[in-house]
Amino acid sequence: MKYHNFEELQDGIGQRQTVVKILNTTGEEIIQQSSKTDANILQEKLGSLSLRCQEICKQLAERQKRIEEQKNVLSDFQRDLNEFVLWLEVADNITNTPLGNEQQLKEKLEQVKLLAEELPLRQGILKQLNETGRAVLVSAPIRPEEQDKLENKLKQTNLQWIKDFFILDCITSTLKLEELLSS
């Protein structure tokens, strides 16, 4: 059930609860004025109706709790994905800036080394994002267009990771070779 439909259902049940309360009050008045046989039948039907209403309200509250949990997971996922994309943008800027003088080259080399040290951690983060993303895209209470947008962002993030990982891996491999050759 889509989140919008759920909200309509929730509103409808809220309105029906008032009707059920009035029905219970009126029913109790009628029961008091009825014969014992009729009163027992009416009491049973009224009790059954009240129980069904309570069960629906309980299910609705449980569903509301699950939706809130899903929304929190979605929010955390979006935040983590945005942070990862930002890191990729920084890495991309570092690896794509033109080489300058010797001082700039040394600074860039240090930046690349720092990025390379983060690669295993970032790879783990991306793995977790992909796992969480698959679950979120299936169960999150979001509109289809938002779901498509999020799915595309995750795909683009993976593609950018492959590109940046390859570049950083090549640079660090080259640095290691240069160190070995110079020793």
What is the reported pLDDT for 1? 43
What is the reported pLDDT for 100? 76
Q: In sequence order, what DSSP letters do the residues of the chain get, joined into one string? A: --HHHHHHHHHHHHHHHHHHHHHHHHHHHHHHHS-HHHHHHHHHHHHHHHHHHHHHHHHHHHHHHHHHHHHHHHHHHHHHHHHHHHHHHHHHHHHHSPP-SHHHHHHHHHHHHHHHHHHHHHHHHHHHHHHHHHHHHHH----HHHHHHHHHHHHHHHHHHHHHHHHHHHHHHHHHHHHHHH-
pLDDT digits (tens, 9 = 90+) for 64-104: 899 899 999 999 999 999 999 999 999 988 888 777 778 88
CATH at 164:
1.20.58.60
pLDDT digits (tens, 9 = 90+) for 8-17: 666 667 677 7
The span from the CA of 71 to the CA of 141, in Å, is 7
pLDDT digits (tens, 9 = 90+) for 101-140: 788 888 888 888 888 889 999 999 999 999 999 999 888 8
Domain hosting residue 69, numbered range: 3-182
Which pTM does this prediction carry?
A: 0.72
Q: Per the structure, how many domains does the chain have?
A: 1
